Amino acid sequence: MIASKVEEIYPPELRDFYYVSDKAHPKSELATMENKILSSLSFDLIYASPYKFLSRIQEASMLKGKETFFVAQYFIEMSMLDCNLSTKKSSVKAASAYYLALKITNNLNKFEKCMDEIAEICGTNPSMIKTTAKEICKLYEEIIANKKLTQSLNEKFMKEKYSRASQIISDFVKSK
């Protein structure tokens, strides 16, 4: 019930859950249990994904390139493979991935101009963004050697739909 109320535009009503449960529990019991679950979670249900922050950061930087966005998205998805990066705030991961993407696409100077604003949006500071960006780079170096680990990620981001982001990153790394 709770998930449908968060995710669905038109969530099912209580009577629908009552019917689906084969009337095993009274409607009042379903409502009471929902209330207990929400209370134990302190009504804290929303998770802001790095992708949402990435969209907001791109707006704040006033750069509209799809290429930069998809390179950053590549790094965000890659960061899901690392336990240490999974403990970072979504906003910091997004800002760090965007920082790297701008560096790769030669737009870093534009990012530096709005770095403080982006750090504020993310609830962090510029040095944390740069430190996390270094961690993402290190992860990239470690996992790129293991082709199987990144094969599906590279295949996905090799598509034109994603502006061939994995090729852009690969070309950048080879040029350094």
DSSP conformation letters of 24-80: -S-HHHHHHHHHHHHHHTTT------HHHHHHHHHHHHT---HHHHHHHHHHHHHHT
Please indicate, yes or no, if residue 56 is contained in any of the structural domains.
yes
**Residues of the chain with confidence (pLDDT) below 70:** 147-149
pLDDT, position 44: 77
Per-residue model confidence as pLDDT tens digits over 116-166: 888 888 889 999 999 999 999 989 888 877 766 678 888 899 999 999 998
Tell whether 91 and 112 lie within a shared domain: yes
pLDDT, position 93: 95
Q: How many helices (H) and strands (E) does the chain have?
A: 12, 0
Domain of 24, in residue numbers: 2-40
Tell whether 31 and 81 lie within a shared domain: no
Tell whether 30 and 59 lie within a shared domain: no
pLDDT, position 118: 83
pLDDT, position 125: 92
Please indicate, yes or no, if residue 151 is contained in any of the structural domains.
yes
Secondary-structure percent of the chain, ordered helix, strand, coil, rounded to 5: 75, 0, 25
Give CA torsion, residues 89, 90, 95, 97, to 10 deg. Answer: 110
Instruction: With beta carbons less than 8 A apart as the criterion, state whether 122 and 89 touch.
Output: yes
Tell whether 62 and 120 lie within a shared domain: yes
Residues in the chain: 176
Tell whether 70 and 117 lie within a shared domain: yes
How many separate domains does the chain show? 2
Tell whether 84 and 166 lie within a shared domain: yes
Please indicate, yes or no, if residue 130 is contained in any of the structural domains.
yes
